Structure 1
């Protein structure tokens, strides 16, 4: 119950009011038992109607007050949980969007979704009624104390049942911990399979992978169902055993009470009252035992969130230049993936003055996209530095730096919002005229005009259901939205038709005329012709950096690359 205590201590005044409301509600709950005892002993014995009326009015007032305190308690419990729930829900998404990309790459997508959905699991477990149920547990002693005043023997027996159910409930939660943890991991793997089946639907069918995927799904489902049955079995045992225990306790109380009535140590009214008090004392314990699965899931979700929160986050503080002119420098730069036998590249040093154009090329797997991500600060070098106008990127604020870069990734993905929002998210100050210029520059006017909702059309599946050409044009217009002094384009003409490629060439030429530094990762001959510098990643371990010479220009014009 560490999470509950943390929520209570976070708001001590509200916690005090919550406990006070629980105290008064449980004290008032004694009225029903006392009413039964008094009616049986006083009214039934003497038949005075005024006595019955007085007792009835009194107990009704107590019931109304108890209801009021319990409602107030629910409101207080909601208040005490609202901030923690909001922090958890917003915090988990904040970590997802603010963690370093390299750290996120290690986590399977299914596990990331499981962590986010875990916030809802915690919120469900620690809702107001459940918190109220937990707070009723210690007040079971109030009913046991009242029982002790009527019959010490019955009180001892009831204490035995109450403690037994409490231990059983705690034991049940402990037994649920491991299968619940395993269930969460299997659910994450199943989620990843579902995501793959949806995102790569054509791949699954075109390469006859359906049987393969179904086989994996079947194996995971067998494990999932086994764990689920175990959890349900344990929870079912708790749910079926608690009513039986309650019934057994009631029989025991009546049996002992009956012998005491015969012996003259107890009257009938007190015996019935003892049975009601015993049920009241056991009620919170049975409720706690039945919440075992919810709290076990919440505990697992909190554990996953705590591990998730340890992921390194991107810097939110650091330096920022008053004006970035476009200079880029690599100093002894190296990068290697964790566990790789050799680096992608190392000992790379070069310097680009503002307005320079460098084309980076190399075979698949030589590190082109990785270098683009390094320039954006999405991943960090294993050694060395990247300088922007002489300032190390490791010292600048990533958010500021990315505003200086027009970035077109090789595999562009869009946000699942409107087309307008995809363009303005990077530059909220864009007006309609600015958006229109971006659409024209990327050659998107015809596509936008043909869409029923125009700029308000919503992107789905991160744009993966759109053609690569349209998606790349969208990404181009988004890249141009910031008008950064540095352009980083990764295979900008790949998948584009002649008209689309022409739009890319025109955009790059326009940036070059404005003195923007351009780094392009491409094998496109037309782009190579416009380069001032070339970086060949095929050379290992240190890529070859050269200036474009007239001889090389002639070779390119001759069709050789």
Structure 2
């Protein structure tokens, strides 16, 4: 947990600790806790000396000397306590720095691999819970607990019966602590699950606010959200009631026990078996001996929550280990191949693609056509490495995609999905993929290739215009053209465009076709999931998909002739007999859409 040397978390400043120092810091907290626990004896020993030495001798110098010593010890105690608190805060921040990048990457990967098990933002909330507990008073109480037996042993040194009462009180408080653990574990776990569910529903409602408002669904979704929120509140209240109730019982018991020890000390003084100093000192010492237990009971709810959060977070991180590549492959330049590609959506069992094979060389454009649900978008996701094949491979310049690190592969891939998602940042940041090293020339080149430069210059702040979440400042067509410019940024070798002209007007479509022509001349590979016939004017090959299988693949003219019902030569990779390729065309292969 603390030994991660990832470069993304190795930066430190004056207020945090690097991952390599976290274990050292924990040892430091233990040493500081030992010093604080020893110095907590100051009050008891000072009272013992006052009653047994100062009062009988009536010595003012002795009183002043003892007072000066006690003041110095209290000062050191406060200093060490402060240092322990500050060190725990640094540990909490260090843990956050050590785990936040991996947690973020796990959140991003989860819906791509296991959408049915997607935990939303729960891992981040778990990390916040861990950090919050580590910086609270709870860990200090846990570090003080091992000193309880030492305090009880010192009570035995004062007198057997005082030690017996102290030991019995400590046992009762430990039982109360275990009771808190048993009673609060389940409501705390259920509360966390319900809180995550309610938060995800609220986020989904926010993303679909227009649909909820237009169709009058808001009240019904609000009812479902309130039900999940009620589950969270009930669990939270149950855990809080247990912690509060047991904590109150522990506090009352400790106060009563402290008075009982004082009474026991008075009885021993009357019997001549103890001094007045021992009577007072034992009462103060017992209060200190049981304080860590009481404080642990009060913080037990947070401890259970942090422990459950760590268990969930650890399981999440173990599911998504980082794969570091020791060798960086050269930039691709030859082409892309799909070999017997069978694809199953994450979390599903039904194949979306079966035995799909094709090759596209540098400087070629492949159009993938087919009716809705034929597997075009699934193929696009597989070609850029979003979904992993169940069987077969996608190779870029002969190397399977899983041999490329995602970040390095991303430099050579331009991807335009059906569902456009822009981020809260400027137009330039979105187009440059938020690269800090992106030059203005590269950004403008991408926008000019997408035919967006003049349009962006007409925005209030030009390239510095902030788009807001989901690119709300732009129309659907403008968002698609910005996303196209983002895909074109840096002239990536592989361009996968999923229905890139679905929201484009005539000017936007002309810019798209011109961009494909320029890219083809530069030796780029374009794979376009087509829904409009106009895109076919710039393609070299056409692949026909239906029900996840290749129904035809070949040169553009050959495939188009077959789709028109004419006799065509044998198709490469076809899964149908040649005589069936001349059947009447499936007009649903090209469904025109209204541009924006």
TM-score (norm 2): 0.85
CA change 1:227–1:473 in 2 (3 A) is same
1:264-283 correspondence runs (5 A): 264-283=272-291
SS at match of 1:359: strand
- Compare 31-40 and 443-452 and name the one that shifted more: 443-452
Q: 1:19 aligns with which of 9, 16, 30?
A: 30
Q: Does 1:306 align with 2:314?
A: yes
Q: Residue in 2 aligned with 1:510? A: 518
Q: 1:440 aligns with which of 441, 448, 452?
A: 448
Q: 1:70 aligns with which of 62, 81, 85?
A: 81
1:159-238 correspondence runs (5 A): 159-238=167-246
Alpha-carbon separation, structure 1, partners of 2:162 and 2:305: 37
CA change 1:187–1:524 in 2 (3 A) is same
Q: Does 1:547 align with 2:555?
A: yes
SS at match of 2:307: helix
Alpha-carbon separation, structure 1, partners of 2:204 and 2:327: 40
Q: Residue in 2 aligned with 1:391? A: 399
Alpha-carbon separation, structure 2, partners of 1:346 and 1:382: 10
Q: Does 1:325 align with 2:325?
A: no
Q: Which runs of 4+ in 1 moved over 6 A?
A: 7-10, 553-556
The Cα shift of 1:399 comes to: 3.1
Q: Residue in 2 aligned with 1:91? A: 102
SS at match of 2:357: strand
Q: Residue in 1 aligned with 2:115? A: 105
Q: 1:358 aligns with which of 330, 350, 366?
A: 366
**Could you list the runs of 5+ residues in structure 1 that have no partner in the other structure?**
none
Q: Does 1:252 align with 2:260?
A: yes
Q: Residue in 1 aligned with 2:164? A: 156
The Cα shift of 1:245 comes to: 0.9
CA change 1:358–1:85 in 2 (3 A) is closer
Alpha-carbon separation, structure 1, partners of 2:306 and 2:171: 24
Number of residue equivalences: 552
The Cα shift of 1:116 comes to: 0.7
Instruction: After superposition, give the CA deviation of every residue in 1:89-114 in whole Å (9 maximum; x if it has no partner).
Output: 333123334x3763153333xx2311
Instruction: After superposition, give the CA deviation of every residue in 1:52-83 in whole Å (9 maximum; x if it has no partner).
Output: 21221121122122223323333444455553
Q: Does 1:288 align with 2:299?
A: no
The Cα shift of 1:46 comes to: 4.0
Alpha-carbon separation, structure 1, partners of 2:361 and 2:530: 20
- Compare 477-486 and 39-48 and name the one that shifted more: 39-48
Q: Residue in 2 aligned with 1:31? A: 42
Q: Does 1:410 align with 2:418?
A: yes
Asked which structure has the greater RCO (Cα within 8 Å, sep 6+), the reply is 1
Q: Does 1:44 align with 2:67?
A: no
Instruction: After superposition, give the CA deviation of every residue in 1:279-309 in whole Å (9 maximum; x if it has no partner).
Output: 1111111011111111111111111111211
Contact 1:75 1:128 in 2 (8 A): no
- Compare 178-187 and 261-270 and name the one that shifted more: 261-270
Alpha-carbon separation, structure 2, partners of 1:176 and 1:267: 44
CA change 1:325–1:18 in 2 (3 A) is closer
Instruction: After superposition, give the CA deviation of every residue in 1:395-443 in whole Å (9 maximum; x if it has no partner).
Output: 3434333322222111121233332222333765532122222223333
CA change 1:191–1:555 in 2 (3 A) is same
Provide the alpha-carbon RMSD of the alignment.
2.9
Alpha-carbon separation, structure 2, partners of 1:531 and 1:553: 15
